[in-house]
Structure 1
């Protein structure tokens, strides 16, 4: 298939904000790379990775950033990014990503043993090398797209003799057999094809509860609220300022939040806040508490 440009020929380009003039695409691509770099730097604070990730992040390519950003748009959270970078097998409920991740200059056909039920002539597996993803491999599933990052690319195929990378890839396979973990570019992941990570833009499906379950849930929520009312503050204050009495507390559980409300990108990850103190505030705090000259102080013991 002929593709004109990596940023404008995506089937989901309009959805991802990769359309517009050349200057607009350049700004959008750089903003996407900056955002993905920040995501990786945050997850690197809590997770253990092989050495060299920080240096690789500084050389993050636009295609690599596009793939990781698409995963984030489909629900990937910062804690899950650790498994992705360590070779976790990811299923995305979006078949359009299969074509979106085929880049003109860097993508190539690959042979793999993943998802053998698919027609590989119609949907061949696609490989791509990068500084952060090392070797990205993706393909189609019946309902979406799968992707996995590998530590070592494998180039063997029809009428090709094995090379050094193929031998290293074989060593990674032996590690997989021993540890039952995928060998990714920056570590090991237990998210294998048999136990993959599943991403979907919309996973919440509203449903109604049966009357017995609804009554039991309401009673439990009332009990939790009553316990919280007397433990959050002192009992005398709790009695003086009772909270609003809600007849149906269960109604708030399924309430949808607007925008990126909810667990969001960071999920249950640890969040660090680093701030530089304002110079004016530092100056005020450093001032001595001595009264100015000539100030009259009340005598000791006077009201």
Structure 2
């Protein structure tokens, strides 16, 4: 994949030489990303420092290699408990400085041009100073500085692989309010059209405070309520006249004819 993607686009010198010394740990990361949907064109952004999100929390532990991984400090995804899920660094010929950590739903990963070890020494090292220069380039260009180029796929505009579209999410108050009003209007319309208005007034439906909160409630397995999960929904269709005619003709017995007989004397 690296050889193919290196044929197009701009890269810093030395990519193919580094690819020849790809470590098993680096290969595992690229393979896992490919298994989650990484394609050859997207590999360009990964090698150039693109921020990648994968809805697979298991990758966080699978990428903690015993001999080459170590805890790292970073400002990425600060809403995660870093004491429980510290960011993990790893160095390699291709990834240079790989950094990954946890998100609420999965794992993130990003390749950096220069390793940094802020917080582990009292005085910054030359590598830390080069990392600071990379940060200034990021602030000026709004692009991540990766080992082999620049990428616009930052933490604010990441590359998203294998998104789990079934993950629950909260609605903003304006959206929840508008959705509740729509659901109440639909429910009132159903009340007056299903039965007579007199009966609908005498037997009102149960008053539920949060209609929007009932949508998409998680049940066992892959099931969920959704808009129609608690209703008896079926589909009826008018039979096709053309299909009915063909079936009618195919079941008609052949017309009866008298067999021919020889002439009588």
Give me the TM-score of the superposition, normalised by structure 1. Answer: 0.54
Q: 1: distance between equivalents of 2:14 and 2:148?
A: 9
State the match for 1:122 in structure 2.
Answer: 84
Alignment of structure 1 residues 197-212 onto 2, 5 Å: 197-200=159-162
- CA shift, 1:156, in A, is 1.7
Q: Secondary structure at the match of 1:115?
A: coil
Q: 2: distance between equivalents of 1:116 and 1:201?
A: 21
Contact 1:112 1:125 (C-alpha < 8 Å) held by counterparts: yes
State the match for 1:174 in structure 2.
Answer: 136
Structure number, greater radius of gyration: 2
User: How many residues matched?
Assistant: 166
State the match for 2:99 in structure 1.
Answer: 137
State the match for 1:15 in structure 2.
Answer: none
Q: Secondary structure at the match of 2:6?
A: helix
State the match for 2:11 in structure 1.
Answer: 49
Verify: 1:185 aligned to 2:147, yes or no: yes
1:61 to 7, 23, 29: 23
State the match for 1:162 in structure 2.
Answer: 124
Q: 1: distance between equivalents of 2:72 and 2:10?
A: 29
Structure 2 residues not aligned, in runs of 5+:
167-265
Report the CA distance shift for 1:202/1:141 in structure 2 as closer, same or farther (over 3 A): closer
Report the CA distance shift for 1:125/1:64 in structure 2 as closer, same or farther (over 3 A): same
Report the CA distance shift for 1:105/1:161 in structure 2 as closer, same or farther (over 3 A): same
Q: 1: distance between equivalents of 2:165 and 2:148?
A: 29
2:47 to 76, 79, 85: 85
- CA shift, 1:91, in A, is 0.3
Verify: 1:152 aligned to 2:101, yes or no: no
Q: 1: distance between equivalents of 2:92 and 2:160?
A: 23
State the match for 1:73 in structure 2.
Answer: 35
State the match for 2:69 in structure 1.
Answer: 107
Contact 1:73 1:201 (C-alpha < 8 Å) held by counterparts: no
Structure 1 residues not aligned, in runs of 5+:
1-38, 205-303
Contact 1:123 1:140 (C-alpha < 8 Å) held by counterparts: yes
Contact 1:74 1:201 (C-alpha < 8 Å) held by counterparts: no
- Kindly provide the CA deviation profile for residues 129-181 of structure 1, in whole angstroms up to 9, marking residues without a partner as x: 00000000000000000000000000121554210000000000000000000
State the match for 1:269 in structure 2.
Answer: none
Q: 2: distance between equivalents of 1:175 and 1:159?
A: 24
Q: Secondary structure at the match of 1:119?
A: coil
- CA shift, 1:202, in A, is 6.5
Q: 2: distance between equivalents of 1:157 and 1:149?
A: 20
- Kindly provide the CA deviation profile for residues 225-250 of structure 1, in whole angstroms up to 9, marking residues without a partner as x: xxxxxxxxxxxxxxxxxxxxxxxxxx
Q: Secondary structure at the match of 2:147?
A: coil
2:58 to 88, 91, 96: 96
RMSD: 1.4
